Chain A
């Protein structure tokens, strides 16, 4: 007999949408289990720009999206403060862009209530030294930067402390029905192949770009356009605030700061498979060329890596638009009971990172209606715990840079990390120098389950710096074996897996320094550790 879990609601997908739904359900007292085929934010939720939209980008073309974004922007700054950097943002008009749009945009923002403020060009250039000196008008907006990794992990953790259950590395392989209603889902453990049945009457499909596939398991037709966008990570943080191009939204017109780096992009191309993470050098070059308008010289700047993610865009009709930009980016909440005659199945898709909370609210409102629960949503007020930890580490003797990182990062783990730093000399080892991560932090953030460097990376930023894990991955793997947290085989596997992933992202940007960095990494791993080409990821 397979193990069986009983619950009221199953949420499929550990992206921001799924964890948002999970938390909202839990806050309203509904028992729920979230299942994710790999780790949190495996999908689009970690493959995006990290822009906490002020809504200004949408003001002209999509009033509703603009209003939603601005409202959520204000809410998230309050409720997930540890994952948001209220950087502010600017919209800058470059000479080649249309003058008329500026006036239209200013008016549209005013109409929907998004505050904009013109700043003198000289002042803007002083604030952002990399900005094109030829810009003709600059406006300040309340954009922000959001860290999708900590966001999803903290929202999920909050739900878990309130009683929710999460199964990672658990892929939904079947959605089972009794008559015209859902009765259970079957998940398969990605490492062991072991299957578990989860009995439930209500399943929420929050599988992002995998949404059609999941719907297919329930034999429900669902047409999603997966619109793949490319992003590139600059080697360091070149801007203090978000830099947007003041024109009708297009490709390659946003620079978003993210801790020590800047993420620049993006593009949009429709793809078939949600697993299509392929990287095209030509696309990258086009993007960089376009980016020169805002940041001259960006083509020559060092990049760490590039990555792609797909926007799941819901389309009611069948005529496809290859740029994907004209399909609605608003949220789509589908009740398959009314739409397709299948009870107990709901899809939530589309939308944005910025509006994930609102998407969850709408979804759970529908769930409540179905379950006859009469509890109002509180996620717009109830905060998740802050990451700030400035009151800790006063006596801790570690590098100031590592301390600065902890001040903004340690959050709930602060006490535990502080104790271990103050008592164990080894815990003070800075295992990842680029991002200043100590072993104490790694220990505290290590998720249960199989040792996996990529999972650790999502929780700590391990290996996210310029060296892309050349030194730190092996340090962590070695320490984990030494401390009995992983077997030799597990550590070996994890190293291969992590290195393969990083090499892919570096390859496409590998010119100049990054190609040397890549060579160094490959040499170190191939020669000194005996890892070779077979080191392919097999999860």
Chain B
């Protein structure tokens, strides 16, 4: 049997209703994609105990998880599509480019070592042309910038001593590209009297799953599960500032690893805003915020929507006096992790992002808020508004409070 034959039976429940396909952002943008129903449950059914079918169109799937959310039968559609990706990667070989992109951590480490140079080179056109030719990364695509002083270099506490203990899974983006987000989170927790520890961790695996690097992704998932369980078993809550990471720990780990450990861990995972909302509900949140007079647009990342936790970022930010925040309800951004970096996906990515860009333009707010670094990348590319993470806003709302109040 093919080494990628895998045991996943939720496809059995598929009613062929197409709800997933009509809600898939990619299916809605192009006819070049087979759609979640076909590339998920349908293909799996045709492959079980039969020959493997490699469908290259699976490259277009961004693993945003919208299909999972829309399925009335609880089919793990995106688990199935991620395996279709793994099969494709195995059958066709993975492009060097996709290995580079799937390895956010390695790229992050390398790039932040040379941060100032990296950021310059990323912007210089001739270099980008070469990247497009060699790596297939589109020349016009903007990159998130890398910071020399990456978060690991700034903060490295392994244990928390307060009563409520938080272990922070930083994720690649906040570690290498936006240490300020990570720093803000630590500060926000500090204002709430909560100590934050940083457990040993590896990339959550999302970019690996998305690029068909299933094996490596599963390795990382296993590593993180082991590492974080050590914390949860000592009473830590695991909190994350990246919605894609959170979603991986809550959903994908359990359905890929299929272990009791993964399920156990999933019960202790919180998105940062979700966590703050719980503090608030239990009357523990420090609500001593300074007034921030701003009108902002909120952009909800797919991986946040897929968690089924409502809209915690807005719930929390609304507590800030004077802060006016509006949900732009603008669909998928189109960056979709590493997807939008790829030369051949660039046009789809821009097409996907149009609704979002129009929404930003129409709202004409002071700036945009989103949790997802990849969404931010697309927002940076397609709009001229500044983009902030909720933690950055909360941190300044705490900091601006006069010392004596």
> Which residues of A are interface residues toward B (Cβ below 8 A)?
127, 129, 235-240, 257, 259-260, 301-302, 399-401, 404, 433-434, 436, 465-467, 470-471, 513, 516-517, 520
Contact = CB atoms under 8 A, between A and B. Distances in A.
Interface in B30-60: 34, 37-38, 42-43, 45-46, 48-51, 53-57
A470 B14 CA distance: 13
Contact of B46 (A239, A260, A471, A520): A260
20 contacts: A127-B1, A129-B7, A235-B12, A235-B45, A236-B12, A238-B49, A239-B49, A240-B1, A302-B13, A399-B38, A399-B57, A401-B38, A401-B42, A401-B53, A401-B55, A433-B37, A434-B42, A466-B45, A517-B15, A520-B15
Given A235-B12, A467-B15, 4 more contacts: A260-B45, A401-B43, A404-B53, A517-B16
Nearest to A130: B49
B13 A237 contact: no
Contacts, number: 68
Contacts of A238: 48-49
Contacts of B73: 513, 516
A428 to B, nearest CB: 12
Contacts of A470: 16
B17 A520 contact: yes
Which of A257, A401, A404, A517 has the largest count of B CB atoms less than 10 A from its CB? A401
Contacts of B11: 236
Interface residues of B, number: 26
Contacts of A400: 53-56
A225 B130 CA distance: 79
Contacts of B34: 399
Q: Which 3 A-B pairs have the closest CB atoms?
A: A240-B49, A467-B16, A400-B55
Given A129-B7, A401-B42, A401-B55, A237 B16 contact: no
A237 B48 contact: yes
B42 A433 contact: yes
Contacts of A436: 46
Contact of B49 (A257, A471, A513): A257
Interface in B47-83: 48-51, 53-57, 73
Nearest to A241: B49
B16 A466 contact: yes
A471 B16 CA distance: 9
Contacts of A239: 49
Interface string B312-341: 000000000000000000000000000000
A423 to B, nearest CB: 19
B16 A513 contact: no
A465 B38 CA distance: 13
Contacts of A302: 12-13
Contacts of B42: 401, 433-434
Which of B1, B49, B54 has the largest count of A CB atoms less than 10 A from its CB? B49
A470 B45 CA distance: 18
A471 to B, nearest CB: 7
A470 B1 CA distance: 32
